Chain A
Amino acid sequence: DQQVKQNSPSLSVQEGRISILNCDYTNSMFDYFLWYKKYPAEGPTFLISISSIKDKNEDGRFTVFLNKSAKHLSLHIVPSQPGDSAVYFCAASAAGAGSYQLTFGKGTKLSVIP
């Protein structure tokens, strides 16, 4: 059973517009969430994170929103750039329960069209 779900396998956005990537989770023990970006033939790289005590975290063009009641988080990229084209993974951790393992979604492939 998937505890972290990214229901959109792919997303296409025009350059300059907003990209919104979504992630849902089922485990109420998850209290820390991360987004990773992956280019072909490379390993995933950390992008941005959010603790469950917050509902928003912003870093430049990237903002992550967390809705705990809905068990949903989203990553907003504004404005989108062609270099943002990659696979984005959502990940979650139950650190408060003593686990630093990350559970990953299957990823969403973002294509930013020039």
Chain B
Amino acid sequence: DAGVIQSPRHEVTEMGQEVTLRCKPISGHNSLFWYRQTMMRGLELLIYFNNNVPIDDSGMPEDRFSAKMPNASFSTLKIQPSEPRDSAVYFCASSPLQGAGASSYEQYFGPGTRLTVT
């Protein structure tokens, strides 16, 4: 398996522009997580989906952030409009069926997208 795939790997944009980050989870995994990593706050959970349905978006910082999962193999995280304080590394992770034993707690991370907003 190719693992979790994220694109782009790097994104540089100007303040006010729309940014879309993409993620393809591991095939067969039914939970998907979006994280943001910054020096100040570490690794924060933004939102997660079970079976393509958003379960908890309490970590989404503002209405400027939105996430979708139209099918089991694709998710997007959109920031509109972007601001310099959104600069961070954004990770997508997936995990197997929830409640299917200890392995369901283990999340598999993609390589991340480094976002820079100038």
Contact = CB atoms under 8 A, between A and B. Distances in A.
Interface residues of A, number: 22
Contacts of B45: 101-103
Interface stretch (B12-20, B68-76, B108-116): B108-116
B4 A34 contact: no
A41 interface: yes
Nearest to B110: A43
B112 A95 contact: no
A45 B109 contact: yes
Nearest to A101: B45
B102 A46 contact: no
B42 A34 contact: no
Contacts of A103: 45
A89 interface: yes
A49 B111 contact: no
A104 B45 CA distance: 9
Q: By CB atoms of chain A within 10 A, which of B43, B93, B112 has the most?
A: B43
Nearest to B98: A100
Interface in B30-72: 31, 33, 41-45, 48, 56
